[in-house]
Chain A
Amino acid sequence: MNLRNKLVLMAVNPNSSFIYWEITDKTVEEFGVDPKNIELLFKLFDEKHHEILEFDSNFALGDYYINHENNHKAIYVKLFLKVGGRLQYILSSNIIKTLDKTIKSSKHSNLIDDGISENLIYTSTLLGGR
């Protein structure tokens, strides 16, 4: 199995995404940092490269659920390693399109409005359904 740095972003729903990462000891050591004592910083950006939020972790392998607004078209994450008080860029995640839960026409038809109220995401209550 190849050991490689990983930073993978996945959409969960319009307001939440999931990210997992793995940073190899080799990568950390290249910056003179002890793998047992690391500080990682994650920054979430939108499609215009505007920073939305950040979070940190002390684990080389981990995951996190990110809650965000759904008014961005796409998002991605950049991972940094803290080296002597400075941020060292390590890698970027894949870019995901956010799940834009809106009616795309300003002129609603009765059919769409009916559909939204009648057909609003129906959840099966029967065993065997999803």
Chain B
Amino acid sequence: MIKGYWIPVLHSHLPFVKHPQHENFLEESWLFEAITECYIPLLRRLKRLEDENVEFALTISVTPPLSEMLDDEHLMQKYENYLKTLIELGEKELIRTKESDYHNVAKFYLDFFTQTKEFFDGFLNKNILNGYRYFYDKNSIEIITCGATHGFLPLLSVNEQAVRAQIKVAVESHKKHFNKAPKGIWLPECAYYDSLDAILKECGIEFFILDAHGLLYATPSPKNGVYAPIVTPNNVTAFARDNESSKQVWSSKDGYPGDFCYRDFYRDIGYDLDFEYIKEYINPDGVRVFTGFKYYKITGNSDYKEIYDPSAASQKTVEHAQNFHFNREKQIGHIAHMTDRLPAILSPYDAELFGHWWFEGPDFLYNVFKEMAKNKVIKAITPVQYLSMYPQNQEATPHSSSWGDKGYFDVWLNHSNDWIYRHLHEMADTMSECAERYFHNANEQQNRVLNQMARELLLAQSSDWAFLMSTQTAAEYSTARTNEHIHNFFKLADMLENNYFYEEFFSLVSEKNSIFDFLDFRVYSANF
């Protein structure tokens, strides 16, 4: 008998990074690593569940920048080369480790990358989006959208049109890549501010997800806590994160990913092996990088590491899936008498946790679905399925919040990144003014310039840059990207204002920052 529901949500996102002028660009590998270690492994597990007739339901946000990159010919050609190089390194590693204890794990990696290529070439037909579309069309997964470029909406809301554009462009991108309008949205960084629901409603969004305190501090208080959604004043449904189930998976200290038999993320042959041997497989300028060949397990809290055993690690995911199921059952048992309906536990995670940071994560997820299908006590569902069962929900106004450190906006607005906002706001104001001025009378060239201005604005707004400045990871790149988009935007605005066209500059920026080929600058007009 079903006693409650589990709503797993994976947020898949990477900022738009494309450098066509370079054969190898360090930050482009963020995408290639995520495809190899996360997106393909997850899709392979979903296919296996389908082949085994195991029922599953999963909600995945595939953000517009990620969709655009996965659909970009230039980047996907680079990805094919990346995968070929990994297989070549795998073959070399098989020879190098022939007489050593590392031979089995080296063989495991060669098989892993070879199977990844087979799945990419075969089932996916060289396009990751095909995999998402396949399950989306069968209703076994629900794909939701996000902000157009993952802009941190509360801090952009000084210009409401900037927020509206983030949502409208996201909806258009979703239609382009998935052939239908999205029903739900993963708000960038789970960040909500008062009255955002009006814009979501206007754009046809039916539900979104809050962090726990976004719902617990709602007005009036939600009678079912985070275990049922609320309906906002503008009639959009808000679900909230359950932190108990999140913590069990998220925490590197107390969560499953920290188990000693799982793969150690940081030890990688890109850093460990002799430079002369590995130099062709790291950055061409000699900077050592992760190759994806990681031969050790976490082992313990010291630097001492033992060789990784993939089969033991995979077995451990069965044990952890059983434990996860056990704890959810216990949690539901504790909650059930306090709610006016069967409780729903919503567990959102960054998709990149599964496979990239936690290599065995896709196996864990696969085993959780199997465990739920076997026990038939908890049913995995999507928010859409929930709303078809419970269309009536308590009305309440959500609390402004985010899922960042301390729960508000500090991560995206502090001394490390506050300088960006005066530029982002000025750009948005300028864009809105231009959209009004040229709405009916832009010639073809002005149209191209205005559309590129809109792209530069959207790309500058990506919350990733402020986040990375804050955490001091890739801060230099994030600062450079922000400055680049500000510069491009005002250069283009100058071309428009002073009636000239700098062809070389325009070609360069439009090839590099080529996101959203459908974009119409008029989205920044109040009359659009």
A: which residues have CB within 8 A of B? 1-2, 6, 8, 10-14, 16, 18, 20, 22, 63, 94, 97, 99-105, 108-112, 114-116, 118-130
Contact = CB atoms under 8 A, between A and B. Distances in A.
Contact of B413 (A18, A97, A109, A129): A18
B267 to A, nearest CB: 15
A129 B247 CA distance: 11
- Looking at A63, A118, A123, A126, the one whose CB has the most chain B CB atoms below 10 A away is A126
Contacts of A8: 158, 421-422, 425
Given A101-B217, A126-B251, 13 more contacts: A6-B426, A8-B158, A10-B154, A10-B421, A12-B413, A104-B221, A118-B243, A118-B244, A119-B241, A119-B242, A119-B243, A120-B243, A125-B252
B338 A111 contact: yes
A2 B251 contact: no
A105 B243 contact: no
B204 interface: no
B158 A94 contact: yes
Contact of A103 (B216, B253, B493): B216
Contacts of A126: 250-252, 255, 257, 353, 357
Contacts of A13: 406-410
A20 B418 contact: yes
A63 B189 CA distance: 25
Contacts of A122: 212, 243, 246-247, 250
Contact of A20 (B400, B404, B409, B422): B422
A114 to B, nearest CB: 7
A105 B222 CA distance: 9
Interface stretch (B75-83, B119-127, B223-231, B477-485): B223-231
Interface residues of B, number: 66
Contact of A1 (B400, B405, B407, B490): B490
A105 B221 contact: yes
B217 A102 contact: yes
Contacts of B226: 115, 119
Contacts of A22: 422
Contacts of A115: 212, 216, 225-226
A101 B216 CA distance: 10
A106 B143 CA distance: 38
Contacts of A128: 350, 352-353, 356-357
B371 interface: no
Nearest to A124: B250
Contacts of A127: 252, 357
A18 B417 CA distance: 12
Contacts of A108: 221
B217 A104 contact: yes
Interface of B: 154-155, 158, 189, 194, 211-213, 216-227, 241-244, 246-247, 250-253, 255, 257, 335, 338-339, 350, 352-353, 356-357, 399-411, 413-414, 418, 421-422, 425-426, 430, 433, 467, 490, 493-494
Contacts of B154: 10-11
Contacts of A20: 418, 421-422
B413 A121 contact: no
Contacts of B494: 1
A24 to B, nearest CB: 13
B408 A11 contact: yes
B225 A111 contact: yes
A99 B250 contact: no
A63 B158 CA distance: 16
A119 B408 CA distance: 15
A130 B422 contact: no
Given A2-B430, A122-B246, A10 B217 contact: no
Nearest to A102: B217
Contact of A100 (B241, B255, B399, B422): B399
A109 B421 contact: no
A104 B220 contact: yes
Nearest to B343: A111
Given A99-B399, A130-B405, A130-B467, A119 B357 contact: no
B460 to A, nearest CB: 15
Contacts of A114: 225
Contact of A12 (B255, B339, B405, B408): B408
A55 to B, nearest CB: 16
